[in-house]
Structure 1
Amino acid sequence: MSTEPTPDSTVLDEYRDEVSRPILRLFTQYGRPQLHWFTIGVITSTLARFLGLVPPIILGIAIDSVFNDDEAYSLPLVPDGWIPGTESGQFWLSVGLMGGAMVLAAIMHFFRMSTLNLFSHRVKHEVRTDTYRTMQRLDMDFFNQMQTGQLMSILNNDTNRLELFLDNMTDSAIQLAVLVVGIGGVLFWMNWQLAFVTLFVIPVAALFTYWFMSLVEEMYVDIRQTVGDLNSRLENNLGGIEVIKSATTEEYEGERVEDSSYEYFRQHWRALRMNFVYRPGLQILTSIAFVSTFVVGGIWVVSGPPGPFTGTLSVGELVTFLLLTQQLVDPLAQMSEVIDRYEDAKASSSRIFALMSIPVTIKSDPDAADLGNVEGRVEYDDVTFAYGDDEPVLHDIDFDVDPGQTVGLVGPTGAGKTTILKLLLRLYDVSDGEVRVDGHDVRDVTLDSLRDQIGYVSQSPFLFDGTVEENITYGAFDASDEEIERAAKRAEAHDFISKMPEGYDTRVGERGVMLSGGQRQRICIARTILNDPAILIFDEATSAVDTETEMLIQRSLDDLTEDRTTFIIAHRLSTVRKADEILVVEDGRIVERGDHDDLLAEDGLYANLWSVQAGEMDALDADFIEQASQRAAMGVQDED
């Protein structure tokens, strides 16, 4: 099984290669504001681990002094005058110190877990929100190339991976460092010769770990990519479930999901197989250290120093060695999980910072002026536009619109009608020429002030998962109930809303799935009315509704456009019949212009399109039919 690489993978790869030291950047950029919590977590974690070393040390001293009476009772850093003179007193002092160390360690663990978790969750929150804010400012070209599932994977999966690393693995790394340093110091203090036997595994484990990291780093990059691919496939299929059911393609889509899932499994299995070598390898090393300590120490206690070793070793010291060595076994064995999480977090943070590194070209200049109140004059001055370095899709677009006029844009599919008006919204910037509003080049005013003055209603109305009222007031959140109802009435929506189970408080479902297409469209129109823009754009606003609903929507449009500059993109030419001027667009050029009657009299492209919709096929020009066939064969589509 295999899956084809998604086209958006190269979008992130291009910028991911430029991201250096992503984990360090994560700490410096997002961890610094939460540094106080991290510092408390590190300190309490360190104290907790050192307190964990106290019981084995005291136990070894008690065995030699209290139980075997081999040596005088003496504690490190404790004055002899504080130590009881009786064995009973020394016993209970040992019990008290061990118990106190354990209780205090538990308290330190509480603060460790609280502060490190707070640190990791706050960093995750800041990363996610910052990533989203950055993402929504990116150009439309980016969203045309990236799949929604990939973006969701970055916002959810990748940020969650960071939290797992910052929370659990940071503490594990601290634990390992403290225990290696602490236990190593204690063991060398007690018997430096036997300490070499116990700790020889540390440099071997370090080399083994370096080898492991060099192999798995790229594997985790591939894993994060395949997670995004799988999310994209699932998101697409869930969004198109109605099409899948109606086309009875469940088996086909099931196989495609299986392919994506298998690719994720395959990439993950590669990394797991490396872990299956690495983790047992570390366990073998730590087991060798424990057994070696027991063998050498046992011979030393029973028969005296073996081989090159010199001096004495007591039973208590051997017990302390064994207990401390055992404490070192688990953290060393967990090193694989630390490295595992680290590489996973590194891959995730690379994707996140790659997304943040993508440049934004459509943005307000620092010295951009506020557009202010708009009369509604719009000018296109010899506009040419191309996507990136591709061939131009618009050529010499030139027209003027006076305030309050209605302009229709018609033409074959893929002619460039929608693209023309996206330049007005500044979703894209012109390649040459100017688009002006009230005499201001749209590139010289702030994006917010420009878009606040333009209302856009598309042929695919989008509603958020919420109530009817929440969707109408989107962008005008402080509107009163009277204003909401007035806007709904003007959009011919109030009557059907009032008949819904909970009226304006009725939930519409994801993307407005609980409503019909016409109802969704009228709610979107009500939203536009409530925002009260000076310029309106209707992009095929009635293309997907029945004739009766079209009549209702047309009534609301006539009322709404009465005193506003309005652009109407339409395939149904009846929608623009009353427009002050109609622009006929073909192959990215304006080939005809005028009102309805003038264009019919011209007997050109518009007249042919009108004949098609009127059912007058016999009146069609042969060249028009040939051109329509070529366009259909090419499968050209309007830009969204």
Structure 2
Amino acid sequence: MSDQATLETELDTYRERVSKPLIRLFRTYGLGEGRWLALGLVASALAYGSILVTPLVLGTTIDAVFTGEGTYALPLVPGAWLPTEPTAQFWLSATVIGVALAGGALLQWVRGVAMNFFAHGVMYTIRTDAYEKMQRLDMTFFDNKETGEVMSILNNDISNLEVFFDNALGDSVRIGVIVVGITAALLYTNWQLALLTLGAVPLLVAFTWWFVRVIEPRYAAVRSTIGDLNTRIENGLSGIELVKTASTEEYENGRVRGVSRSVFDAQMDVLKLSYFYRPGMELITGAALLATFVVGGLWVFSGPSLFFSGELTTGDFVVFMLLTQRLTGPMAQLSSIVDWYENAKASAKRICGLLDVPVGIRDAPNAVPLEDVAGRLVYDDVRFGYEDGVPVLDGVDFDVEPGETIALVGATGAGKSTVAKLLLRLYDVDDGTIRVDGHDVRDVRVSDLREAIGYVSQDTFLFDGTVAENIRYGHFDASDDEVWEAADAAEAHEFIRELTEGYQTRVGERGVKLSGGQRQRIALARAILQDPAIILLDEATASVDTETEYLIQRSLEELTTERTTVAIAHRLSTIKDADTILALKDGRIVERGTHEELLATDGLYADLWGVQTGEIDDLPEAFVDTITHGPTDGER
């Protein structure tokens, strides 16, 4: 199974288990910002309720003041409070309309501020929680990672939620207030004509229900293809050096074009349906407006027809036309709300899926602190595989006394780096036990364990920041003097001083502005600054020249004095003075002893040494390449 398929299976498994994702996220994150939501919804209801004032006031003013067809009356206002003189009635109407317009504008501002505080507050909390959860996920998750997929969740999907919580909720209230208010006003004005006008509502509801059913899987496809596109772009940018040196720009462009086409096709599937839905909604509401205009207009100047009865005044007809017109826009905008809802629902499932991925490497319920570490290590019949049925370590046993140095050697893929990663609890053993000072590493606090171990990996990583920030990483309160001393001990001080801005020089993303050897020395300085009880060196000098390697080895001798050290090496000259050397083959320890003892056995270690020193030159080329070159990206 490919890495991509493995990741998709893992995330999809938890994603498909999610029920009512938007409700779940609202309960978890929205209730904490409920005061802003309540203020926004109340302001929204009042703001959009105020738009009903103008048509109603205009209708009664036309009938009472201009045509004399009716009595001056305002809804919810006792008649005794209203003036009887036409001029006073006119100015009262103008005042009420002005106040409604001004109040509506102020309420819209309150609504906008409150809803944005709510939406962005929810978005902030979800994003930080999702990122914190990602930080806690096991290395098995990242072994199969698609960085673009995770980035899509942390950025695009959470932004979709922000749009939904800000716009969709507010607009849903607006449409609800307008529909209910206009329905009540139309029924109050003339219930017979209102039934004709509102006859479109069931059609609109049925049309919307159909649209939601059809559009939902298409939005899920859009979110998935965008994740694939982000992954492809991220991979291309991360590997830009390889792309250029291999002259594969056109190949990468073709891969991005292919994924981009998938995004285009998925988005067009959504848009084609959306652009069918929106005109359909406008057609239905427009037909209701036209029917109201025709029937109401004939009623005004020629009396009721069909099953209608009674009188329809000019003012009432104006009210119907104004209110029906104002009903058309919100009902047609249901399509946008459905779009936001379906987009947010698909995004919420992806977010919840990420939040639901279980974390295996965590503190035990009664985890004990690991303090005053002496550094005694025990590997007791350790067995481990990254995939079921594919063992990487098979019965590894060894002890290391405090202050001793043990070295692991072997061909690429023998399992050397895996031994180191299990000590750090980047993974947990499948069987057997690893102990530090007599404590099973699974029983102590993970943070204590990792703080006790200084790890220098073969794949040196630097953050995009200054040299000083990268050395200080993990020990952020270290003084400048302490940083300089650590760099000096790692033979890095001199080259750092020669950089453009010294310790304040920015190293670029992943440290691309520095050479491999410079990056490795900065990583070593970081470990020295940590001052750990246990040193874990995974090819710590793999990327440096011979002269620099000699200088670093001299620093390592001082660093490892009286510290337990586990050193993994392909360059055997760097570990020949170790107290014990373990030779691994196919996940098993096949030889152990000192340098001299292993040479005397004339086994695997002796062959490795002979190849590197030139004493053996007749081994198969593939074997020579395996044991003489540094580890590949797939080394475990």
Aligned residue-pair number: 632
Match of 1:484 in 2: 483
Structure 2 residue 614 is matched with structure 1 residue 615: yes
Opposite residue 178 of structure 1, the aligned amino acid is: V
2:311 equivalent to 1:274: no
Deviation readout 1:283-323 (Å, 9 max, x if unpaired): 10110111111111111111111100111111111111111
Partners of 1:497 and 1:429 in 2: how far apart? Answer: 38
Match of 2:150 in 1: 151
CA distance in 2, matches of 1:480, 1:545: 28
The answer as to 2:505 corresponding to 1:506 is yes
User: Residue 600 of structure 1: CA displacement?
Assistant: 1.1
- In structure 2, what is the equivalent of residue 94 of structure 1? 93
Tell me the equivalent position of 1:225.
224
Report the AA paired with residue 97 of structure 1. V
Report the Cα distance in structure 2 between the residues aligned to 1:499 and 1:158, rounded to whole angstroms: 45
Query: In 2, distance between residues paired with 1:365 and 1:600?
Result: 44
Distance 1:544 1:408 in 2: 19
1:568 equivalent in structure 2: 567
Seen in structure 2, the aligned counterparts of structure 1 residues 519 and 636 have a Cα distance that, compared at 3 Å, is closer
Residue 382 of structure 2: aligned partner:
383
Query: Residue 353 of structure 1 aligns with which residue?
Result: 352
1:213 corresponding residue in structure 2: 212
Offset, 1:5:
6.9
Q: What pairs with 1:289-304 in structure 2 (closer than 5 Å)? A: 289-304=288-303
1:190-233 CA deviation, whole Å, 9 max, x = no partner?
A: 11111111111111111111111111111111111111111111
Q: By how many angstroms is 1:120 displaced?
A: 0.3
Match of 2:318 in 1: 319
Query: CA offset at residue 145 of structure 1?
Result: 1.3
The TM-score normalised by the length of structure 1 is: 0.96
Give the distance between the partners of 1:281 and 1:637, measured in 2 at CA: 56
Aligned partners of 1:252, 1:341: CA distance in 2, in Å? Answer: 36
Residue equivalent to 2:532: 533
- Please state whether the residue corresponding to 1:409 is helix, strand or coil: strand
Offset from partner CA, 1:230-252 (integer Å, 9 cap, x none): 11111111111111111111111
Distance change >3 Å, CA 403–CA 630, structure 1 → 2: closer
Partner of 1:309: 308
Structure 1 window deviating more from structure 2 (345-354 vs 602-611): it is 602-611
Q: Which residue does 2:545 correspond to in 1?
A: 546
Matched with 2:245 is: 246
Q: What SS is found at the alignment partner of 1:585?
A: strand
- Which letter maps to 2:51? G
How far 1:43 sits from its partner (Å)?
0.4
Q: Secondary structure at the match of 2:617?
A: helix
* Aligned equivalent of 2:445: 446
Mapped to 2, the partners of 1:613 and 1:225 lie a distance apart of 49
> Could you tell me how far 1:548 is from its partner in structure 2?
2.4
- CA positional deviation for 1:631: 10
DSSP 3-state at the match of 1:355: helix
1:106 aligns to 2:105 (yes or no):
yes
Indicate conservation of the 8 Å contact 2:412/2:635, yes or no.
no
- Give the letter aligned to residue 36 of structure 2: W
Distance across 2 between alignment mates of 1:389 and 1:328:
61
Work out the CA distance in 1 between the residues paired with 2:557 and 2:335: 68
1:551 positional shift? 2.2
The match for 1:403 is: 402
**How far off is 1:619 after superposition?**
5.9
Query: Measured at CA, do residues 628 and 194 of structure 1 come closer, stay the same or move farther in structure 2, by a change above 3 Å?
Result: farther
| Contact 2:4–2:146 (8 Å) recurs in 1 | no
C-alpha distance after superposition, 1:173-202 (max 9, x if no partner): 111111111111111111111111111111
User: CA offset at residue 608 of structure 1?
Assistant: 1.0
Contact 2:378 2:397 (8 Å CA) reproduced: yes
Contact 2:524 2:540 in 1 (8 A): no
* Contact 2:611/2:624 (<8 A) preserved: no
Q: Which residue of 2 aligns with 1:424?
A: 423
Matched-pair contact (CA < 8 Å) for 1:417–1:638: no
2:496 corresponds to which residue? 497
Runs of 4+ that moved beyond 4 A: 4-7, 625-632, 635-640
Shift of 1:627: 6.3
Q: Corresponding residue for 2:131?
A: 132
**Distance (Å, rounded) in 1 between the aligned partners of 2:385 and 2:180:** 62
CA-to-partner distance for each residue in 1:5-31, whole Å, 9 max, x for gaps? 755222211111100000101111100
Query: Taking every aligned residue pair, what percent have the same amino acid on both sides?
Result: 53
Asked whether the 8 Å contact 1:11–1:145 carries over to 2, the reply is no
**Residue of structure 1 in register with 2:590 after alignment:** 591
Deviations 1:410-462 (A, max 9, x none): 10111111111111101111111110000000011010111110111111211
Return the letter of the residue paired with 2:236: N
Q: Secondary structure at the match of 1:434?
A: strand
Partner of 1:443: helix, strand, or coil? coil
Offset at residue 553 of structure 1 (A): 2.2
Cα root mean square deviation, aligned: 1.8
SS of residue in 2 equivalent to 1:466:
coil
Distance in 2 between residues matched to 1:264 and 1:5, nearest whole Å? 18
Tell whether the 8 Å contact from 1:9 to 1:225 is kept in structure 2 after alignment: no
Matched with 1:164 is 163
Deviation at 1:552, TM superposition (A): 2.6
- Residue 16 of structure 1 contacts residue 351 of structure 1 at CA under 8 Å; is this kept in 2? yes
Please state whether the residue corresponding to 1:133 is helix, strand or coil: helix
Name 2:283's counterpart in structure 1.
284
Report the AA paired with residue 522 of structure 1.
R
Q: CA deviation at 1:84?
A: 2.1
1:52 equivalent to 2:51? Answer: yes
Equivalent residue of 1:545, what SS? coil
Task: Extract unaligned runs of 5+ from structure 1.
Answer: none
Aligned to 1:62: 61
Unmatched segments (≥5 aa) in structure 2: none
TM-score normalised by L of structure 2: 0.97
Question: Hey, what's the Cα distance between the residues in 1 that align with 2:354 and 2:607?
Answer: 47
| 2:368 aligned partner | 369
Determine if contact 1:50/1:178 at 8 Å carries over to the other structure: yes
Give a deviation string over 1:376-424, Cα, whole Å, max 9, x none: 0000011111235333221110000011111111101111111111111
1:473 counterpart residue number: 472
Q: Distance in 1 between matches of 2:338 and 2:443?
A: 50
Query: What letter matches 2:273 in structure 1?
Result: M
Give SS of 2:190's match: helix
| In structure 2, C-alpha distance between the alignment counterparts of 1:325 and 1:558, rounded to whole Å | 86
Give the superposition deviation at 1:78.
Answer: 1.6
In structure 2, C-alpha distance between the alignment counterparts of 1:92 and 1:141, rounded to whole Å: 74
